[in-house]
Amino acid sequence: MPSAAHPVEPSADAGAAPAFSPLYQQIKALLVRSLQGSEWRPGEAIPSELELAARFKVSQGTVRKAIDELAAEGLLVRRQGKGTFVATHAEQTVQYRFLRLAPDEGATAPVERRVLDCRRLRAPAEVARALDLKSGEAAVLVRRLLSAQGRPVVLDDIWLPGALFKGLTAEKLSGWRGPMYELFESEFGVRMIRAEEQIRAVAADAATAQLLAVEPGAPLLSVERLSRTYGDKPVELRRGLYHTAQHHYRNELS
């Protein structure tokens, strides 16, 4: 992006906000475009408000309002006395922002992960539709089991676009010690920005019951999540089965 770009008249193909939107929203769109283009990578500091104001030829207050919204949405992180940084899934406060399972009693325990499978295959039709893939295009399927205090609690089937996740293997996943989304971010350049979910109650089939150590027919919570990156592009379809006998699904509404 040229440093002299004027926010009031963004080019039609730039993906920025239309000219009738508030000025701070136009600045926000330009900042998101820079994030999407990896001008500033996860964990890196962005220029100061004064520098951005000079770059976009707007007031510092306008830049501050745009940054405030991006920080509230989890794309940027303010650090007192240090500046503003691109949010990363390595941040302690956002590591497990999409994992909403909490114990009924006591503090949340560390989650243990076991990768059961990781393979490339042709995306089924419903997966291809969800991920905006062409018919027959490759996808990566990851199956993993999450346990808390030695008890299996979540069985995940995770579908990813094959073109974005070349080289993802069970060995790489098993050897990674941080959150999976941090791996996606650091190794494959894919950052999960937001997600939408569908939740329903289901009964465990025989195979699932064995993996989750429950009786066949036991009640489970089915959570289907579609995660998106910059530009609202879908990059992950996750289908999780949750055993909630000693846990609950926690959410915060505002």
217-252: buried (b, 16+ CB within 10 Å) or exposed (e) per residue? eeebbebebbbebbeeebbbbbbbbbbeeebeeeee
**Per mean pLDDT, which range of 44-58, 161-175, 184-198 is the poorest?**
184-198
**Per mean pLDDT, which range of 6-20, 23-37, 90-104 is the poorest?**
6-20
The most confident of the ranges 63-72, 87-96, 161-170 is 161-170
Q: Which residue has the higher pLDDT, 24 or 10?
A: 24
Domains and CATH numbers, the chain: 23-86 (1.10.10.10), 101-249 (3.40.1410.10)
228: phi > 0 → left, psi -120 to 50 → alpha, else beta; which?
beta
For the stretch 101-131, pLDDT in tens is 677 776 666 788 999 999 999 999 999 999 9
Q: Which residue has the higher pLDDT, 232 or 236?
A: 236
What's the rounded mean pLDDT across residues 83-105? 66
Residue 223's DSSP bridge partners are 199, 240
CA atoms within a 13 Å half-sphere pointing along the CA-CB vector of 202: 17
